[in-house]
Amino acid sequence: MTVLARNRHRRTAVMLAINLLAIVALGGMGYAGYKALRRYEGGKKVDRQFVPLAPTPVGMLATVDDQDRLTTVTIMVLNPEAQGFKGGSIVSVPVSSDTAYGLDGQRVPLTQVYAEGGVDGLVSGVESVLSITLDVWEVATPAEAEPLFTAITPFTATFPQDVDGGTLTAPELLFPAGDAGLSAAQVVEVLNTRVEGATDASRRANVLALWNAVAAAVGSGRTQVANVEPIITGPFVSPVTDLPDLVGRLFAGPVAARGVAATPLAPGEAPPGVDAETLDFADAVMVFGAVAPSAMSATRDALVYRIEAPPGYDAQVKWAVTLVLYFGFNVQSVYISDSVPANTSTEIEIYDDRSRDQAASANDLFGEYRFVEPAYLIEGVEVVLRLGTDFLTGTGGVASGDTLPTTTTSTTIG
DSSP string computed for 12-67: -TT-GGG----PPPBTTB-HHHHHHHHHHHHHH-TT--EEPPPP--EEEEEEE-TT
Q: What percent of the chain stands above pLDDT 70?
A: 82
Identify the domain containing residue 166 by its residue range.
58-279
3 state SS for 293-304: HHHECCCCCCCE
**Tally of CB atoms within 10 A around 321:** 24
Whether residue 148 is contained in a domain is answered as: yes
Band of the pLDDT at 179, cuts 50, 70, 90?
Answer: very high
Give the pLDDT score at 386.
Answer: 98
Q: What is the mean pLDDT of residues 367-393?
A: 94
Looking at the predicted structure, is the pLDDT value of residue 144 above 70? yes
Closest by Cα among 228, 380, 256, 358 to 306: 380
Lowest mean pLDDT segment, chosen from 11-20, 231-240, 250-259, 300-309: 11-20
The CATH number of the domain holding residue 211 is: 3.40.630.190
Give the pLDDT score at 261.
Answer: 97
Band of the pLDDT at 132, cuts 50, 70, 90?
Answer: very high
Closest by Cα among 340, 360, 342 to 350: 360
Whether residue 371 is contained in a domain is answered as: no
Give the pLDDT score at 381.
Answer: 97
Looking at the predicted structure, is the pLDDT value of residue 281 above 60? yes
Band of the pLDDT at 51, cuts 50, 70, 90?
Answer: very high
Whether residue 127 is contained in a domain is answered as: yes
Give the pLDDT score at 396.
Answer: 58
pLDDT digits 0-9 by tens, 242-270? 999 999 999 999 999 999 999 999 999 99
Quote the radius of gyration of the chain (alpha carbons, Å). 22
Whether residue 149 is contained in a domain is answered as: yes
Whether residue 198 is contained in a domain is answered as: yes
User: Which of 49 and 195 is assigned the larger pLDDT?
Assistant: 195
Give the pLDDT score at 232.
Answer: 63
Number of domains in the chain: 1
Whether residue 240 is contained in a domain is answered as: yes
Give the pLDDT score at 367.
Answer: 87
pTM summary value: 0.86
Whether residue 20 is contained in a domain is answered as: no
Whether residue 250 is contained in a domain is answered as: yes
Give the pLDDT score at 38.
Answer: 44
Give the pLDDT score at 16.
Answer: 30
